[in-house]
C-alpha cells in the first residue's frame, strides 16, 4: 500500500498499515528533539504565566529517590497492602527533613505511632508536629486546611485515609448503610486545600491502603475514600512486597533485619509514569523488655 512519510512527506510503499516513515533515518530524525527549540526561554515564559518549577523532597532512601522524590506544592498518594512499609517510608522522609531543619505535620489517624521508633530514626522533635486526637474526617480536614493555608510546614503526611471515619457514620446504627459518606468529605477536603498547598509550596502525602473487593471472582483492589485523591494527585506510588523478599535470606537467630519493597509509579504529572524500582526497608532494632516483664511468674 502507498503511504506518505510523516517526516519528509515523500510517498513510499508500506508493508504494514501502521508504518509512518519511509526509512529508518526519517524515523530517527522524527523522534529526535528539536534543536532549534529554546528550552530556557520557553521555561521562563511559562513561569511568568504562573507555572512554578517543581521542587522535590528526598525520601532518605537512595533507590526510591532514583525512582522519584516527593513534589512540593502537590498531592502524592502512597498506597499498598498492610505491612509493606508505607509508614516506614514516610518516617524516613521526616528524618531527612528534620536533619535539614524543615517542619513536618504528621496526622496519625491510626494512633499507632511509637515514640521509641522516632528516636531510633533520630527524628528531631523540634521540627515534628503530631496530630492524633481524632479519627473523624471532619476534625482531620480542619487541621489539614489550617496547615495548607498557613504554610508553616514543608510536608504534611496523612496516615492514613483508610482508617478514618465520619461523625455521621459513627452516630448511625452499625448495620446502617453509609455509602459515599467518607468519599464526599474527602472530595470536599481536596477541593478546598489543593490550591492552598500549591500557593504555600507544601508537599501533601496521603497514605492509603489497598483492599480487596469481597466476593469478586477476579481479584480486584481499591483504595478507600473515593476517587478524589487519585484524580487530584500529581503522583501515585504503589508499593508491594512478598515474604521471600525478607533479608537476610537465612537468619541464624530467626530475626529478619528488613525486606525489599517494589515501588511502581502508577500515575505522574511530574515525571515519567509506569517505572518500577526495588529498595530495601530496614526494621528498627527490637526494644529490650524490662527484666521483671520477661521473668513473669508462672501460674
Tens of pLDDT, residue by residue over 73-119, are: 999 999 999 999 999 899 988 998 998 899 999 999 999 998 988 99
* Structural domain includes residue 132: yes
Mean pLDDT, range 145-156, rounded to an integer: 96
The pLDDT of residue 295 is 44
Tens of pLDDT, residue by residue over 218-246, are: 668 889 999 999 999 999 999 999 888 88
DSSP state of 283: P
Mean pLDDT, range 17-35, rounded to an integer: 81
217 pLDDT more than 50: yes
Full residue range of the structural domain in which residue 238 is found: 57-287
| Total domains in the fold of the chain | 1
* Structural domain includes residue 205: yes
Cβ-based neighbours of 282, under 8 Å, separated by 6 or more: 257, 258
**Whole-prediction pTM:** 0.82
Higher pLDDT, 285 or 208: 208
CATH of residue 238: 3.40.50.300
The pLDDT of residue 278 is 94
Task: Give the chain's count of helices (H) and strands (E).
Answer: 10, 15
**Alpha carbon 103 to its chain's center:** 18
* Structural domain includes residue 50: no
Identify the burial level of 285 via C-beta atoms within 10 angstroms of its C-beta, where 0-12 means exposed, 13-18 middle and 19 or more buried: exposed
Residue 251: pLDDT band by 50, 70, 90 thresholds? confident
DSSP state of 163: G
The pLDDT of residue 254 is 75
Containing H/E element for 112? none
Closest CA to 228 of 279, 194, 262, 254: 194
* Structural domain includes residue 292: no
The pLDDT of residue 288 is 47
The pLDDT of residue 139 is 97
* Structural domain includes residue 47: no
The pLDDT of residue 218 is 67
The pLDDT of residue 127 is 96
Amino acid at each position: 500500500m502507498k503511504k506518505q512519510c510523516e517526516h519528509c512527506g515523500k510517498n513510499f510503499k508500506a508493508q504494514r498499515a501502521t508504518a509512518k516513515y519511509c526509512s529508518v533515518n526519517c524515523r530517527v530524525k522524527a523522534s529526535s528533539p528539536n534543536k532549534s527549540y529554546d528550552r530556557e526561554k520557553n521555561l521562563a515564559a511559562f513561569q511568568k504565566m504562573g507555572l512554578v518549577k517543581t521542587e522535590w523532597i528526598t525520601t532518605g532512601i537512595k533507590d526510591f529517590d532514583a525512582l522519584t522524590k516527593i513534589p512540593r506544592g502537590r498531592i502524592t498518594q502512597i498506597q499498598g497492602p498492610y505491612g509493606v512499609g508505607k509508614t516506614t517510608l514516610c518516617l524516613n522522609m521526616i528524618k531527612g527533613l528534620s536533619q535539614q531543619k524543615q517542619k513536618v505535620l504528621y496526622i496519625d489517624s491510626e494512633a499507632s505511632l511509637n515514640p521509641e521508633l522516632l528516636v531510633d530514626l533520630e527524628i528531631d522533635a523540634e521540627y515534628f508536629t503530631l496530630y492524633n486526637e481524632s479519627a473523624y474526617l471532619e476534625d482531620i480536614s480542619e487541621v489539614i486546611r489550617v496547615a495548607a493555608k498557613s504554610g508553616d510546614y514543608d510536608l504534611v503526611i496523612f496516615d492514613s485515609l483508610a482508617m478514618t471515619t465520619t461523625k455521621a457514620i459513627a452516630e448511625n446504627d452499625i448495620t446502617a448503610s453509609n455509602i459515599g459518606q467518607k468519599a464526599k468529605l474527602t472530595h470536599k477536603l481536596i477541593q478546598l486545600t489543593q490550591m492552598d498547598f500549591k500557593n504555600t509550596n507544601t508537599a501533601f502525602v496521603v497514605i492509603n491502603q489497598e483492599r480487596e473487593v469481597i466476593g469478586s471472582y477476579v481479584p480486584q483492589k481499591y483504595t478507600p475514600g473515593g476517587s478524589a485523591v487519585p484524580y487530584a494527585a500529581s503522583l501515585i506510588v504503589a508499593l508491594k512486597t512478598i515474604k521471600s523478599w525478607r533479608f537476610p535470606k537465612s537468619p541464624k537467630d530467626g530475626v529478619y533485619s528488613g525486606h525489599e519493597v517494589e515501588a511502581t509509579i502508577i500515575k505522574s504529572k511530574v515525571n515519567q509514569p509506569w517505572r518500577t524500582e526495588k529498595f530495601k526497608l530496614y526494621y528498627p532494632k527490637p526494644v529490650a523488655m524490662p527484666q521483671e516483664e520477661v521473668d513473669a511468674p508462672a501460674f
